[in-house]
Structure 1
Amino acid sequence: MAQLTLRELGEIMLEFQDHGSASVIDTRALDVVFEDLECDSLMLLQTTGRIQREYGVELDRDRIAAADTPRALLDLVNTVLSEVAA
């Protein structure tokens, strides 16, 4: 079963960040809200879109909106991946 790792999430997010901050890759940033990591809504939309395409899953918009930290987004994606695999 495929799982999205923190490193993979960080690499995807960095691709869409304008300022090139590596903060989202750092495990200390797992519970920091995206806004404090300077991640705007467009970057998160692009990130989740890429995850959906690459992993072949559909992420619910309400659940994406509720995932306000890297840990929450990882948990959401990996939960959906587990549900699809079952």
Structure 2
Amino acid sequence: MRRITIGELDTIMRACAVGAEGTPGIEQAPDRPFGDLGYDSLALLETCSRIERDFDVVFSEDGLGGITTARELVELVNWLLQLKEERAA
């Protein structure tokens, strides 16, 4: 089963965020809120769009409302991937 890692999320977020060069890596702080790491809502929205496209998952607006950290986002994506795999079996 394909899964996303904190490292992959870090790479995606840096590619999606304007001016991310000076932000700390989320690998070192996966439980800190995105805002504390310098990522705004636009960066998160772009990141989620790319994850939907690259991992073939769909986020509900309700599901993303409570996501504030990289670890939470990784867990959500991996849960969606697991559901998708179970439905395909």
Q: Structure 1 length as normaliser, TM-score?
A: 0.90
> What is the rounded CA distance, in whole Å, between the counterparts of 1:78 and 1:61 in structure 2?
17
1:63 maps to amino acid: G
Hey, what does 2:22 align to over in structure 1? 21
> What is the rounded CA distance, in whole Å, between the counterparts of 2:45 and 2:34 in structure 1?
12
> What is the rounded CA distance, in whole Å, between the counterparts of 1:79 and 1:59 in structure 2?
11
Structure 2 gap segments, 5+ residues each = none
2:56 is the alignment partner of 1:56: yes
Q: How many equivalent pairs are there?
A: 85
Hey, what does 1:66 align to over in structure 2? 66
Structure 1 residue matching 2:59: 3-state secondary structure: coil
Hey, what does 1:39 align to over in structure 2? 39
Q: Which moved more, 1:76-85 or 1:18-27?
A: 18-27
Q: Which moved more, 1:69-78 or 1:12-21?
A: 12-21
Is the contact between residue 11 and residue 25 of structure 1 (CA under 8 Å) also seen in structure 2? no
Structure 1 gap segments, 5+ residues each = none
Is the contact between residue 23 and residue 37 of structure 2 (CA under 8 Å) also seen in structure 1? no
> What is the rounded CA distance, in whole Å, between the counterparts of 2:46 and 2:13 in structure 1?
8
> What is the rounded CA distance, in whole Å, between the counterparts of 2:33 and 2:26 in structure 1?
13
Larger Rg: 2
